[in-house]
Structure 1
Amino acid sequence: MPPSPPSRPLPTVPVSAPQLPGKAPLNARSAAIETLLAWMDDHKPVDLHFNRLTTGLDPRDRGFAKSLVYGVLRHRQYLDWTIQRFSKHPLAKMKPRTLVTLEVGVLQILLLDRIPGSAAVNATVDTLKRAKQPRWLLGFVNGVLRTISRQAQQLEQEEEARDQGRPILNHPQWLIARWQQQFGLQQATAICRVNNRPPLLTLRVNSRRSDRTELLQSFLEQGLEARSCPHSPLGISLANYSGQITDLPGFTQGSFVVQDESAQLASLLLGPLDRGPRILDGCAGLGGKTSHLAQAMGREGMVVAVEPEARRFQLLGENLDRLGLAARTTLIQATLEEFALGQPQPFEAILLDAPCSGSGVIRRQPDIRWSRQPGDLARYQQTQLALLTTCAGLLGAKGRLVYATCSLEPEENQEVIALFLKEQPDFRLEDARTYLPVSAHALVDEQGFFRPAPAPDHDGFFAAALCRGSAL
């Protein structure tokens, strides 16, 4: 969850603060604006730009900058709707820097707590001075923001705001229409509302280092709002936590890893691992599921984790070291296809958390809603089916294969499984309820797919349990 904004003026920018050529060093607001401008220019993942532009900011300023970036992306339509009501200039004719600066200012005035309106206006206009913008532009932005600030109490709340009679849901209309068709109007609206709020911080206890009761007690003793997750036997959620993850009790000792409850439950679909099978994590990423499998593994078991991207591969290794699970894993820096060319010994179980549109985790990555296009889904499906087919070639005669995505879209989920089963008649779909706690059975649909929709306490997700021959 992005940290709450400070209640007093920001401190002096440190000497090591990032600086763009020919401009003053960046503070939190300036860094947020530059991040959003860079994202608008290429629509690459916003965190890539944020990490580059906030290097050198102290943690407090960096956290505030992230709350501004994510806040604008979560509430973009509402912010633009408000700006247009008080601006004589059409938004379409504004330069990107002008519009983004106004968005950052209105976000602070209307949607962030503990920032006085005058302070938000002055500090936001100051970013234009730092960027050496003309005086007339400073006057225009100052005037719009001060007008909005004066009328903040009378302005409609975001959830009541309507544009041409339609509620402002801060999602592109094509995505809203898809969800309305799939889930119905009420649930589609609820999903959008969930996506517009910061998520809970959810942890998975490392059962090799701690247990949930012990860790939960240590959090409560620190005055944290901690509770057990409703479904995952290893999950703990922390409400309203705005500090650094590294400051939590037990982090250094490897007692937990950050992981949403839906992802925790998906790993359970591989079934009991205490007999020590060889397991492949085909798209390991940062190692959330890799570490879950490794800590559940029997003494003789081994997890092989494949990850091609260099930065993620490095963090994967660091995470497993901190958790004390490195000895239970073999890490391979390669694509899954490259790994398969080596003809490794067949695996008893494989987990494939496939690349996807990410439409189930928009609350965590708010830029996704604006970056994805309908045509992307066919491309993802082609990649997903190819990876799933590669996994089939790596699985033993009586093995289990779990396919997972953090997407809500049928093209990436049910349709991929249908195409795979048509091509692989020796596989069968198992009911996910078989492997999940009873409390989580409501998250499984009538076909047996694990398919939770985004909700306040968990992400949207999809997982299918596939078995070749008889079960393990």
Structure 2
Amino acid sequence: MQRLLNQVADAVQGVRAGQSLNELLARCPAELRPGTQALSFHVLRHLGGAEAVRKLLAPKAPPAKVDALLLSALALLWPVAEPAYADHTVVDQAVSAMRKRSGQSAGFLNAVLRRFLREREALVAQAGRDPAAAFNHPAWWLKRLQADWPEQWQAILAANNRQPPMSLRVHAGRGSAEDYLKRLAEAGLAGRALGPRATQAVVLDRPAPVSQLPGFAQGDVSVQDVAAQLAAPLLLADRAGLPPLPAKPRLLDACSAPGGKTSHLLELSPAAELLALDADADRLARVKDNLARLSQQAELKAADGRQTEAWWDGRPFDAILLDAPCSASGIVRRHPDVRWLRRAGDIAQLAAIQSELLDALWPLLKPGGRLVYATCSVFRAEGQDQVDAFLQRHPDARAVPVDGFTGHLLPLADNEDQPGGPSTIDGFFYALLTKQP
């Protein structure tokens, strides 16, 4: 376990220095990666509390390398219903790990952890007076949520700290969700179909490696959150009052990586001429891999969607999906590092990029065409406020409300009217915009 703890501490140290957990896990030895990810997720979900307690026990912060392991151990000792390890195991292995990490600090770590165990109840209660520790989110994040969602902010934060379900999208051309449930049962896996809005969605009772999913390698199923599965049908389905799309529509997926929504568009419209764009060439490679697994074809270009002169051939699009760069504040339960990586000033900067993308892509849309604007954010600045401002700037744009699809979708257990039912969706925002002929 000591090797694992040092890997976790490296990950926590990297996140606190501003590095993405995904990038850090990629450097982890393959045999330790699953365990490192699981424990890192736990630590990051309790990091606010661990930091507050460490300040009580050791007001002068130790060196970053030492602090990361100390915080990891404190988070693993945090009182939870089902701890990953017994208390004595965490202390013993953390001290052993520290001897290899920074030998002179092993005694210090041992003393702090043992004091925490002796006074745990009182220390946790004292730390909980700090909202950032009580909710395990930065103070600025709490204030923004309180302003945006005064009735739901605590429930959103609680949802962020729970483990997410594993959701699948059954290939629309290769069977129904009900058919795939039978294949799962034969493989010893259980789940449930969601419908009616997310008709191809299946939520597993327990997460499973993709190697255990029947037909995954052949493209029969993909891993995709239920909320993300709403993008393609929202863009492509016939809607009252909207001109129908051509039989072979010209589509743009403007920020396509990693390709889940790209492949879903092609599942629902196999004859489409689709351009998948992304500013990050490395991430665009993941789109290529996803399409290859599903035996799909699209044109891929690494380019900034705002710089249309560099990539657009002048032919307008029938429909555009803009899944814009955002804070990822709606998918914190899947990416618990996000809350610690973001800064308060990031939201205005991201909103400016979103606005620039909308303005740049709108002229590329045919009259009568449609654009779906999406973000995996619960912040209004990246959702409804963004769309309201866009409509003010573009008199030829009209928002088309679609019940259960458009607006802010919140990851709340009591939102049974949302697609997928209780606790099955991440936080998302969708708007369907049409260009007046």
TM-score normalized by structure 1? 0.81
Equivalent in the alignment of 1:306:
277
Q: Deviations over 1:299-334 (max 9, x none)?
A: 3x22211123122111111111111222xx221222
Are the counterparts in 1 of residues 132 and 138 from structure 2 also a CA contact under 8 Å?
no
CA distance in structure 2 between the partners assigned to 1:462 and 1:408 by the alignment: 7
Distance 1:257 1:425, change over 3 A: same
CA distance in structure 1 between the partners assigned to 2:193 and 2:84 by the alignment: 30
Distance 1:298 1:314, change over 3 A: closer
CA distance in structure 2 between the partners assigned to 1:172 and 1:463 by the alignment: 26
CA distance in structure 2 between the partners assigned to 1:398 and 1:147 by the alignment: 67
Q: What does 1:13-412 align with in structure 2 at a 5 Å threshold?
A: 27-41=3-17, 43-52=18-27, 54=28, 56-58=29-31, 61-84=32-55, 87=57, 89-90=58-59, 92-110=60-78, 111=80, 113-134=83-104, 137-149=105-117, 162-163=128-129, 168-185=134-151, 187-229=152-194, 231-241=197-207, 243-272=208-237, 275-299=247-271, 301-326=272-297, 329-341=298-310, 342-412=312-382
Query: Is the partner of 1:458 in helix, strand or coil?
Result: coil
Query: What's the offset of the Cα at 1:249?
Result: 1.8
Query: What's the offset of the Cα at 1:430?
Result: 0.7
- Fraction of identical pairs, as percent: 31
Letter in 2 for 1:283: C
Query: Is the partner of 1:336 in helix, strand or coil?
Result: coil
Are the counterparts in 2 of residues 360 and 461 from structure 1 also a CA contact under 8 Å?
yes
1:469 aligns with 2:426: no
Query: Is the partner of 1:73 in helix, strand or coil?
Result: helix
CA distance in structure 1 between the partners assigned to 2:73 and 2:390 by the alignment: 49
CA distance in structure 2 between the partners assigned to 1:467 and 1:360 by the alignment: 25
Are the counterparts in 1 of residues 232 and 268 from structure 2 also a CA contact under 8 Å?
no
Are the counterparts in 2 of residues 346 and 396 from structure 1 also a CA contact under 8 Å?
yes
Query: What's the offset of the Cα at 1:237?
Result: 1.1
> Mind listing any 5+ residue stretches in structure 1 that lack a counterpart?
1-9, 11-25, 434-440
Query: What's the offset of the Cα at 1:452?
Result: 0.6
Distance 1:305 1:103, change over 3 A: same
Q: What is the aligned residue count?
A: 416
Are the counterparts in 1 of residues 170 and 176 from structure 2 also a CA contact under 8 Å?
yes
Between 1:75-84 and 1:369-378, the stretch displaced more is 75-84
Query: Is the partner of 1:365 in helix, strand or coil?
Result: coil
CA distance in structure 2 between the partners assigned to 1:129 and 1:259 by the alignment: 41
CA distance in structure 1 between the partners assigned to 2:93 and 2:282 by the alignment: 35
Equivalent in the alignment of 1:18:
none
Query: What's the offset of the Cα at 1:268?
Result: 1.9
Are the counterparts in 2 of residues 228 and 235 from structure 1 also a CA contact under 8 Å?
yes
Query: What's the offset of the Cα at 1:290?
Result: 0.5
Query: What's the offset of the Cα at 1:406?
Result: 0.9
Query: Is the partner of 1:181 in helix, strand or coil?
Result: helix
Are the counterparts in 2 of residues 215 and 250 from structure 1 also a CA contact under 8 Å?
no
> Mind listing any 5+ residue stretches in structure 2 that lack a counterpart?
238-244, 413-422
Q: Deviations over 1:257-283 (max 9, x none)?
A: 111111111322213268331111011
TM-score normalized by structure 2? 0.88
